[in-house]
Structure 1
Amino acid sequence: MDDNNNNTENDKEDILTTFKRIVASAQFIEGISNFNHNQQQQNNINYLENIKGGEMQKNNNFKQICAIIGI
């Protein structure tokens, strides 16, 4: 009888340990997913800022050319 109880306790511990590992893995995967999402958002922001910066530079160049030729 004691052997059966001991085995049951061991099984419970094994199940609990496995469950904790699954939860930890899921949390890790969620963390990576969030990191990737945030990184993609930052990439999009950087891309848009580069476009805006390029447009501003073109505008400044145009103004300088206009000033040089007296327009």
Structure 2
Amino acid sequence: MTSPPIGNAIQARRTALGLSQSELAQLARTTQAQVSRIERGAITPTLPILERLARALGADLEVTLKAR
């Protein structure tokens, strides 16, 4: 199972900043387990969680919705 693009993006940004999952979780006011599950694609993060993660990572949150 491969990680979804959002999980990959979060993990790439986190590691580029030299943050552990625990450090990111603390900055985003969530848990390390939740960060891990998001990065692996085990759960889909809610918009509020995504906003907090983006803020903690110093990144812009861009959401694109498209019909299938």
> TM-score, structure 1 length as denominator?
0.21
**Structure with higher RCO (Cα < 8 A, 6+ apart):** 2
Q: TM-score, normalised by structure 2?
A: 0.22
- Of Structure 1 and Structure 2, the greater helix share is in 1
> Larger C-alpha radius of gyration, 1 or 2?
1
